[in-house]
Structure 1
Amino acid sequence: MLHLNKVHHIAIICSDYQKSKTFYTDVLGLTIIREIYREERESYKLDLALNGVYTIELFSFPNPSQRPSRPEATGLRHLAFEVNDINETIDFLTSKNIVSEAVRLDPTTDKKFTFVADPDNLPIEFYEK
């Protein structure tokens, strides 16, 4: 049987590197591990950590192709972060001019959650602990 230890990282390709870098660092609070410009690919690669754990690779490429990313589109559905208080999270996001969807209740766990969109309209979920 295959033994998986944990999710190692999530890779995201963005269309506007500076805008996405600001969203993932200044808004979501991820910390930069390293930032590399790969001249031969005209591409940035930004390694980000959440609470000291390597989590996200943010890539930029010239003219990346578009793909549907709504939660119900085929492919990766969304990226979810656990939060302690959904209302505090929404208040903070609102202070950064980020609009969240209406709070939903998970019928299985009775936990609250909501979605926002990153600068490329990728769905980001916040799920209350």
Structure 2
Amino acid sequence: MHHVALIASDYARSKRFYTEVLGLPVVHEQYRAERQSYKLDLQLPDGTQLELFSFPSPPARPSFPEACGLRHLALRVADMAASLRLLAAHGVVAEPVRTDPVTGASFTFIADPDGLPIELVGPVPGP
């Protein structure tokens, strides 16, 4: 996968969440005056990118989480407990951590400022 594109209702708030809270580095940012829109390219550790867009008055997400379209964004974390402590320090609330019955991986969900579900997937516990 090359990238996933997201549209934010409040560009500054979402930019802060993805860069400061989730710690994603900025690759490129531009304001497109003809569209009254920002486009922010963010780098994930594996080389995949997130594109964060702003548009004037985007429609709200119709339902949570089962809206048609992108259901959630899943991010791999090396240490679930450490990741949750860091997020909690920024006021981000996570659902209880669960274990996938098929893979054995730990996972939980948080939400971005617009309510987009973000799944955190931790490593499968060792023997």
- Give the TM-score normalised by the residue count of structure 2: 0.91
AA aligned opposite 2:4 = I
In structure 2, distance between residues paired with 1:54 and 1:111: 21
Deviations 1:40-69 (A, max 9, x none): 110000011113724111000110011235
Compute the displacement of 1:79 (Å).
0.4
In structure 1, distance between residues paired with 2:65 and 2:59: 18
SS in 1 for 2:75: strand
- Point out where structure 2 has 5 or more consecutive residues left out of the alignment: none
- Tell me which of 91, 95, 120 is aligned to 2:89: 95
1:45 aligns with 2:39: yes
In structure 2, distance between residues paired with 1:69 and 1:78: 12
Root-mean-square deviation (CA), in Å? 1.3
Equivalent runs, 1:3-18 vs 2, <5 Å: 7-18=1-12
- 2:27·2:43 contact (CA, 8 Å) conserved in 1? yes
SS in 2 for 1:56: strand
Match of 1:117 in 2: 111
Deviations 1:1-55 (A, max 9, x none): xxxxxx1100000000000000000011111111100001100000111137241
In structure 2, distance between residues paired with 1:124 and 1:34: 22
- Point out where structure 1 has 5 or more consecutive residues left out of the alignment: 1-6
In structure 1, distance between residues paired with 2:108 and 2:118: 8
Residues paired across the two proteins, number: 123
- Give the TM-score normalised by the residue count of structure 1: 0.90
In structure 1, distance between residues paired with 2:116 and 2:63: 6
